[in-house]
Structures are given as C-alpha cells and as structure tokens.
Amino acid sequence: MSRADDLDLRVRLAAFDFLGGQVEIHGDVLDRDVLAKGFAFDGQRVPLISPQGIFKPAILPAMPLTITTVPIVEGRERPYEDRIGDGGLIEYRYRGTDPQHRDNAGMRLALQRQVPLIYLYGLVLGRYMPVWPVYVVRDNPAALVFTIAVDDRRMPFLGSRVEDTLEVEARRRYVTRSTRQRLHQQGFRERVLAAYQACCAICRLRHQELLEAAHILPDGHPRGEPIVANGLALCKLHHAAFDTHLLGVDPDLTVVLRSDILKEPDGPMLSHGLQAFHGSTILVPRRVSLRPRREFLAERFALFRKAG
C-alpha cells in the first residue's frame, strides 16, 4: 500500500469513528455545525461538509470523503433530486455537466477502487442524517449520474479487495432499501417538528426527544404522503393515543376523546394527560400551507368515530 493509500484509509476510518461517536451522543441526525467542524487528524482539521455536494477535504489526495443531498424545503423542489434507480439503488447527480470535472473524476476513482464514502442526507435546513459506508457502484456519463449503494457498517473495511459478487450486491440492495426508508421517516419527522417549532400540538410539550411526527392519513393510504400538511407533531403519549383512536382531531382542530376514555377513572395520568385536553384546540404551524389539511382530518376523524 502506498503512503497516499494508507493516509486515505486512515482518514476514512477516523471519519467513520467520529460519526459513530457523534451519533451515540446526538442521535441519528446531526447539525451542520458538527459536520462542518469535523475532527482533527494529525493536527489538521477535517471537515465533512461543504457547499459542494461532492466533497474532498484538503487532507485527502484524490477521492472525495462525503456526498451530500441538500434538505427539502416544503413546497419547493430541491435544486436536484437524487432518484431511486430501477435496481433500488440511489442515483446521485454529477457535479455540473462535465464528466471530467475533478469531483466527478474523484467519484469515478472511488468506483474503480471501491473506496467507501459518507452520504449526508439533508432533512431540514441545517440538519443531516449521515449514512456510511456507501459505495459508488456504477457510472452513467450519459445520464450524468453515479449509482450509490449503502453497505452494512458491521462489514469489515476491505477497500478494493471487495469482489462484486451476487452476495455483496444482494446485501447492498437490502441495506440501501432499509436505509432509504429510515431517511424518509427521519425527514418527515424533522420537517413536521420544525413546522410545529418542536412542540406537541396537543399538550405543548417542548422536549424534542419526546416528540414524534404522526401521520394524519397513514403511510399506506393512497394520500398518506410524507408532507407536513399530513402530519402532526405529537408527544409519544398523544401520538400513541391518536394512532389507537383513543383521541381524535376533528376538521375544526378540536381534540375529541373517546367517550369511554372520558368516563374512565384511572388516576392523574389519564386525568391530566388525556381527559384534560378534551375540547381543546390543537396548535398549528404559522404558515398556512403547512397546517393540517381539513380533508385529511375529516377522513381520519371518521375513522376515529367508527373505531369508537
């Protein structure tokens, strides 16, 4: 192994260790400031993010360390959208339209050497979910896209010694599919909590670690899209009560408890945690376009009435 290859390997492993430590502290979603500050390696700062989508920190000789997808802004399209290809893998756009741009050439080299990268998926402004290791597995200059596969973190780092076997391909397709699902779930949660200013719509609890994004129309519903207007920021208690039809929210934004729950005597938690909110009005986002759609609430409330 050359000195350049040894340096490249050690920096990547250090970056993976850094991210693992940050995720243990902060959870799966990291602030941009954490990624921009990065970590120290042999006395040199190694940032993990830059304004460019394909990023090679100065310490690395030739190949990028991270690729980034910018966050969704509700109601606005991304400058470019990474798509899911026919094989279920991620199609990541080139830098610009020149296949020979140094960033694209670096990605092509990472493909040839099967060097692992970090994928930073933007959830909301300033918040990213890091995914690693990811590999460039195909290059399509005609479409200006690289195909990206996610691999299991528990697999040993083998670099160019990884053979493109059917077993490896199957594992990466599976891991990529489950990772995409996690990215979409986290993205929905972050956008909903941001719209509700990290506050439960029913009880106004502001501890973000206790808040979740509830779908008004469920995920599998034909109109159950992961958009803020189909979501409510709820604490864990009220999310569970909403999902199990112990409480509903009518189209006029009023909280309604099931009649048997209203009559049930079961101590202070039931009294203060649920019964006290019967007839109250939920909190909604300031932006009208982000507020719960009346037709979604009406359909969900009909299900609540039917269940009760």
Integer Cα distance of 248 and 278 in angstroms: 10
| pLDDT tops 50 at residue 159 | no
Q: How many CB atoms lie within 10 A of CB 97?
A: 9
Average pLDDT in the 57-80 region?
A: 81
User: Can you list the positions of beta strands (E) in the chain?
Assistant: 30-31, 39-41, 44-46, 54-55, 66-69, 83-84, 90-93, 117-124, 127-140, 145-150, 211-215, 231-235, 247-249, 255-257
Region 230-248 average pLDDT = 97
Per-residue pLDDT for 66 more than 80? yes
pTM of the model: 0.82
Cα 167 from chain centre: 27
pLDDT at 83: 67
Q: Which of 54-68, 142-156, 247-261 has the lowest mean pLDDT?
A: 142-156
Selected residue with higher pLDDT from 42 and 220: 42
Q: Judge contact between 47 and 34, C-beta under 8 A.
A: no
Scored b (16 or more CB within 10 A) or e, 149-178 reads bbbeeeeeeeeeebeeeeebeebbeebbee
> Which DSSP symbol is given to 73?
B
pLDDT at position 160: 43
The pLDDT of residue 221: 84
Number of Cβ within a 10 Å radius of residue 266: 10
To the nearest whole percent, how much of the chain has pLDDT over 70? 92
Q: Stretch 139-149: mean pLDDT, rounded?
A: 95
Read off the pLDDT band of 284 (50, 70, 90): very high
> What's residue 85's pLDDT?
66
**Per-residue pLDDT reduced to its tens digit, 84-129:** 666 779 999 999 899 999 999 999 999 999 999 999 999 998 999 9
What is the arithmetic mean of pLDDT over 7-28?
A: 95
Please tell me the least confidently modeled range out of 63-77, 89-103, 253-267.
Answer: 63-77
Q: pLDDT grade, residue 8 (50/70/90)?
A: very high
